[in-house]
Structure 1
Amino acid sequence: KIILKKITKIKSDYNWFSIEIKNKEFLAEGDFTKLDFLIGKFREAISETSHKLSIKDDFFFSDDIQEFILENDKDTIIFLHYTNKSRIAKKILKTGLEFTYAFDKTATKVKNNPVDLSYNHYVRKQFGENVVVMGISKKVYQFYIDKINQLGSSILRVEEILTEKPVYINGESEEVYTLNQKFIKGYFNYKNKEIFKNPDFDPFFDSKVFLENIKSK
């Protein structure tokens, strides 16, 4: 249980904020310059709560799962995708992750930071207990950012070109991309602690098709 007395600071009409946790609700308000500050306080509160959860409730912060997520985090950009069905997670391991233009709505980038991890898990866990872990080498990622810029491409996300499958149009007339299966590390279930690894995982994977994807835009 978090105990936080109401904090209020008012210096002027354009420099004020108020934070309170009451009846398990985080209540915060302030002037427009305090948004990042208040979100930070919310993340801190979630972090404290998450680490006090019973291990029976959620294994997300167990050593095995944390090691699985954050292994080689210094050299790899890590993303998580939550799904409520294990068959979907298994399919992603075999065929890659499908997404539309908004990759960041499908997957969330994570850092080796307890507050950041707690916040993202709290926000995303509602989408399911199976969490797909993706990893892309920072060198590969930066290489294609540079190529996109050099070629003056209109591509907005590097993930859009990291595929060997053709883009297709779904029923809502949206372009659907498929992140290459090599970038899928595996998935875990945070309720039963099971971890499933992709034997083909290779965060340093590169393909001549990636460059062709940029040129074709």
Structure 2
Amino acid sequence: MDNLFTILSFLNYAIRPYLELGLFLILIVIIGYLYLQLKKKNNYIQLIFDKLHIQDPELEKEELTKILSKLQIIELTKIVTKDKFFNDNILNYIFEDTKEKKLFLHYTQEKTIADKVLKEGFQFRYSFYKTAYKITRDRLDLIYKHSRSKYFGKNVLILSISTKIHNYYSEELKKISPPEAFVEQILTEVPPFHDENNDIVYALSNKFVKGYFNYETGEIINNPEFNPNFDCDIFRKNLERLRDAYSKEK
């Protein structure tokens, strides 16, 4: 019995350092794995911030959490809610024949307003980009922008401008270098006017309005006058008028 106890004591003494070393190595591996997972997660989150152009992670933390949740349940959302924005027919309509086109979305609650835009063009004050959101096929970007904008209205207008047309007038504007001018202010067929607040209102030509859809019902309304490649003498006159006005200010 004493011999057995002696043998066990010897084995414990001899093996224990190896057991401790083994446990230590296992612990190092676990810590390393957790570190890599955390780093991978942080890199993924940073990628999302970069893609969505979020400048302050602290201010947008809650919003990002909501977006990530939408990424996980987007398919379920299409089934259990009225939001049909990501249905295939809607996405196909938005992005059909969009090669070499610049795409923008604008949300409005009233159908009558959307119908008016199809006929009279898209009105905006000062900056076109404050009410129209540039989009691409990037699904994450779409989810983000739709989740932020959907509460402005269920009718979503699609604005589409030929990249060639947009770039041409953009380059012409650079030659003039007016301090507060945008291409969309040139692409109007009617003169700008002042509203009741004395703000200048521009109307992007209705030729650049593809149509609109209702993301609750899935209804799609086409604009028969839509032509993303539309160009006319009025645009060049607008540019010339802007050039003359800026020259007088110098």
Question: What TM-score do the two structures reach when normalised by structure 2?
Answer: 0.69
Q: Among 96, 116, 127, which residue is 2:121 paired with?
A: 96
Q: 1:109-129 CA deviation, whole Å, 9 max, x = no partner? A: 111011011111100000111
Shift of 1:166: 0.5
| Unmatched runs of 5 consecutive residues or more in structure 1 | 1-8, 10-15, 20-31
Letter of the 1:50 partner, please give it.
Answer: I
User: Residues 181 and 47 of structure 1: is their aligned pair in 2 closer, same or farther, counting only changes over 3 Å?
Assistant: same
User: Residues 135 and 95 of structure 1: is their aligned pair in 2 closer, same or farther, counting only changes over 3 Å?
Assistant: same
SS of corresponding position for 1:131: strand
- Give the match for residue 77 of structure 2: 53
Question: What TM-score do the two structures reach when normalised by structure 1?
Answer: 0.79
- Give the match for residue 192 of structure 1: 217
Letter of the 1:47 partner, please give it.
Answer: L
Does residue 132 of structure 1 match 2:157? yes
Backbone CA RMSD of aligned residues = 2.7
Q: How does 1:110-189 map to 2 (within 5 A)?
A: 110-189=135-214
Higher strand share: 1
Q: 1:139-170 CA deviation, whole Å, 9 max, x = no partner? A: 11000111111233344311111001000011
Q: 1:33-86 CA deviation, whole Å, 9 max, x = no partner? A: 757996995544433343330334211011111011111233111111111111
Q: Among 103, 110, 122, which residue is 1:85 paired with?
A: 110
Out of 69-78 and 171-180, give the one that drifted further.
Answer: 69-78
User: Residues 40 and 211 of structure 1: is their aligned pair in 2 closer, same or farther, counting only changes over 3 Å?
Assistant: farther
* CA–CA distance in structure 2, aligned partners of residues 94 and 122 of structure 1: 28
Among all aligned residue pairs of Structure 1 and Structure 2, give the percentage whose two residues are the same amino acid.
37
SS of corresponding position for 1:149: helix
Return the index of the structure with the highest Cα Rg: 2
Give the number of equivalent residue pairs: 191
* CA–CA distance in structure 2, aligned partners of residues 149 and 75 of structure 1: 21
SS of corresponding position for 2:118: helix
SS of corresponding position for 1:133: strand
Question: Does the Cα contact within 8 Å between 1:73 and 1:112 map onto a contact in 2?
Answer: no
* CA–CA distance in structure 1, aligned partners of residues 138 and 224 of structure 2: 27
Question: Does the Cα contact within 8 Å between 2:105 and 2:156 map onto a contact in 1?
Answer: yes
- Give the match for residue 132 of structure 2: 107
Question: Does the Cα contact within 8 Å between 2:78 and 2:86 map onto a contact in 1?
Answer: no
SS of corresponding position for 2:166: helix
- Give the match for residue 26 of structure 1: none
* CA–CA distance in structure 2, aligned partners of residues 139 and 39 of structure 1: 39
- Give the match for residue 70 of structure 1: 95
Higher helix share: 2
Question: Does the Cα contact within 8 Å between 1:98 and 1:177 map onto a contact in 2?
Answer: yes
| Unmatched runs of 5 consecutive residues or more in structure 2 | 1-37, 46-54, 243-250
